[in-house]
Structure 1
């Protein structure tokens, strides 16, 4: 056997012959195209391949502008490793190398966050390798259209919710082909953080998803921003319509920022200008959403929650905070604002979602993540769940969010959190005997 053969694994599937990498005990079949699309058109499932499917040198990513805040708090994006692709329907499959033939692994499908505007399925900070090895699970990461290409529409030329349609196509691909990788097509959990959690909540009430997944884990979804967005979206669409004919997608994403809706006019929801749009396929009307979620209780187990200081990610990272508000009465004031905005955008909507779901007879758990380090003034901010869930110390070394938190603390709590999340993904339940990390408070909601 050659060195190259030792580093690769071949999946002989009905979709095609897929070449995967073997690295550190994990088999990685990366950047498999599951669909294609033309601009502002619904995705078309990718055809079966007669040739070998080989992982590309660069990771495909939807065209986007880097966020200075994300670069500061999470870490620099290695842009030289990514290739912008307007038709960015790709997924990656991660499986333990230590695998018994005919074994059926629980499947977790990762839907990344980024305000429906930035990110992709395959970032170093959300590499699931540690989790896959520890818990003997399979993780599939999904990339989909974002921003102007995936989450803004409403006229005859430009349908909304194309990003949702992309994810649905990915789920159909997973349902059809994941058994040939060793995954259990009847045990699929969707996991999403931030706007990824928002997408998953809305997939629960989307048309065309029947039988594609059995449970959901919704982390830090900004459900408090989901309502009364129609007027804002229509204005944003109208103001950016002139970009539709631009041939260069990178010029499109550079240009739309001057037309982002005003927070003064539209309130906090303008902080996430792109989003799922009610009243257009595959979604119902906005006033029907709560009843649709209630009617989904027999279909999906739900684990939903947030970090205790979500909005500190935005409010405690500004130059003004570090200059004027980091101590004394300024710190007390900003802490109060963090508490109120966290509850408004994340906390209260998650609790209401869980309580409504439980009252309708659904199986649902509600969680909250805390941190306990006095030196870490930012607290359990938005995205603190990501290093806990994915590990990868090397990828998180540049993170400004973790600079005052020892990695040992992240690692010890993260291993326990990954075990609890894997337990839920496997069965839909969390045993009272399970060892919980000290940063986690969780309870089953009883009607």
Structure 2
């Protein structure tokens, strides 16, 4: 078997000389700093570099604690490859090696990762978009931004929504420089999963984003958790006030977790204690949000949807719950709980959003991913869309979520979904004649 060699590729741009790596048909320009920030301050755009921009030894990430549940679902994160940085404003550009750029510019997808506004980064092996980039001849830009205490908790004394401001700064960088990587600055689609989808929904009504993107793909956004968060947020902010000047960033992120149980009384929304905050820049008041989306219905093409059994992994892999609900009547009760919570957090809010957007004249598609394989023992849970979208079999080999599901099944369905998503990325539409995988239901919402 021939092992393909990794070589370097140089992008000569007005931002600087960017040194990228080329392998397996994809050029990866990774960890380019697009902004900087001081703690609890808005980001400041990074200026063009007089020296070479090279890949750092370790991937910069916002300081965070590891979630055992997420590691069980997706697989262990290679922590030795990451470098905690409370100013983690970096992005990575992925471009097909075969593209010459002589007569065209490629459509651009901007990946906004999920993780409850608390964990994750743009550059993870499980979201390496190489398969998609090579198959569909597009450019994908992965964005890292501030999370948790650093990016999604604030109030009158310090700015909330700093993670949103980071993403906006990244979009400005992309709009300015992506043409020099072969991308079309007039055809930019935002793609977000889970809290990344939540961020994108709110970027659609944020100040200062005009012209920065044309389309959005919103996967598994927990829009049912966005309402009436103010009291919970204020209490969580007050509880964690003593950590704001902590110099040890790892101690800071470890310590805040002891205060999370205090907000559990706020119900399901406490499952995501960090989040966007209405009534602070760049967002409107909560009661104005629906009208803002309607006002902007003509600006953005929308593809929004979810997985059929979003909460199944959280519930069905719990040892405590399985002790009582793992079979018979208990299992039927568990299935009903999955159906109910999936609808409440993800399904119904997505449908309402899509219908409101369509009624206002917007172009919107609604999709749902189902489990059709007999080996999918927990159905189509949260994050099942990620291996379908990104592929990369080796990164998913230890995922409990994919246990017993043949990779061939994931790959065959994934290629079809990537083709459909790319069709939307290119022109904002999905033809009725396009090949649909058996696991996907999708329709244009019309009124």
TM-score range, shorter chain: over 0.9
Please give the alpha-carbon distance, in whole angstroms, between the structure 1 residues aligned to 2:270 and 2:237: 13
**1:249 shift after superposition:** 0.8
Give the count of matched residue pairs.
Answer: 443
Would the aligned equivalents of 2:236 and 2:263 in 1 still touch at CA under 8 Å? no
Describe how 1:252-291 pairs up with structure 2 within 5 A. 252-260=252-260, 262=262, 264-291=264-291
Please give the alpha-carbon distance, in whole angstroms, between the structure 2 residues aligned to 1:124 and 1:422: 21
**1:28 is paired with a residue of what secondary structure?**
strand
Would the aligned equivalents of 1:58 and 1:83 in 2 still touch at CA under 8 Å? yes
Would the aligned equivalents of 1:263 and 1:271 in 2 still touch at CA under 8 Å? no
Corresponding residue for residue 393 of structure 1: 393
Q: What per-residue deviation string (whole Å, max 9, x for no partner) do you get for residues 398-420 of structure 1?
A: 00000021111100000000000
Please give the alpha-carbon distance, in whole angstroms, between the structure 2 residues aligned to 1:264 and 1:144: 26
Tell me if 1:131 matches 2:129.
no
Would the aligned equivalents of 1:262 and 1:270 in 2 still touch at CA under 8 Å? no
Corresponding residue for residue 365 of structure 1: 365
**2:60 is paired with a residue of what secondary structure?**
strand
Would the aligned equivalents of 2:178 and 2:184 in 1 still touch at CA under 8 Å? yes
Please give the alpha-carbon distance, in whole angstroms, between the structure 1 residues aligned to 2:190 and 2:285: 23
**1:10 is paired with a residue of what secondary structure?**
strand
Corresponding residue for residue 417 of structure 2: 417
Q: What per-residue deviation string (whole Å, max 9, x for no partner) do you get for residues 242-280 of structure 1?
A: 001100111100000011154641010000000000000
Tell me if 1:85 matches 2:85.
yes
Corresponding residue for residue 426 of structure 2: 426
Corresponding residue for residue 301 of structure 2: 301
Describe how 1:194-343 pairs up with structure 2 within 5 A. 194-260=194-260, 262=262, 264-343=264-343
Tell me if 1:185 matches 2:185.
yes
Tell me if 1:104 matches 2:140.
no
Corresponding residue for residue 146 of structure 1: 147
**1:328 shift after superposition:** 0.8
**2:142 is paired with a residue of what secondary structure?**
strand
Would the aligned equivalents of 1:90 and 1:142 in 2 still touch at CA under 8 Å? yes
**1:23 shift after superposition:** 1.1
Please give the alpha-carbon distance, in whole angstroms, between the structure 2 residues aligned to 1:412 and 1:263: 43
Structure 1: any 5+ residue segments left out of the alignment? none
Would the aligned equivalents of 2:235 and 2:263 in 1 still touch at CA under 8 Å? no
Please give the alpha-carbon distance, in whole angstroms, between the structure 2 residues aligned to 1:10 and 1:16: 10
- Using structure 2 for the length normalisation, give the TM-score: 0.98
Q: What per-residue deviation string (whole Å, max 9, x for no partner) do you get for residues 146-200 of structure 1?
A: 00000000022x2100000000000000000000000000000000000000000
**2:176 is paired with a residue of what secondary structure?**
helix
Q: What per-residue deviation string (whole Å, max 9, x for no partner) do you get for residues 179-224 of structure 1?
A: 0000000000000000000000000000000000000000000000
Stretch moving more, 163-172 or 322-331: 322-331
**1:375 shift after superposition:** 3.6
- Using structure 1 for the length normalisation, give the TM-score: 0.98
Would the aligned equivalents of 1:261 and 1:273 in 2 still touch at CA under 8 Å? no
Structure 2: any 5+ residue segments left out of the alignment? none
Please give the alpha-carbon distance, in whole angstroms, between the structure 2 residues aligned to 1:376 and 1:139: 29
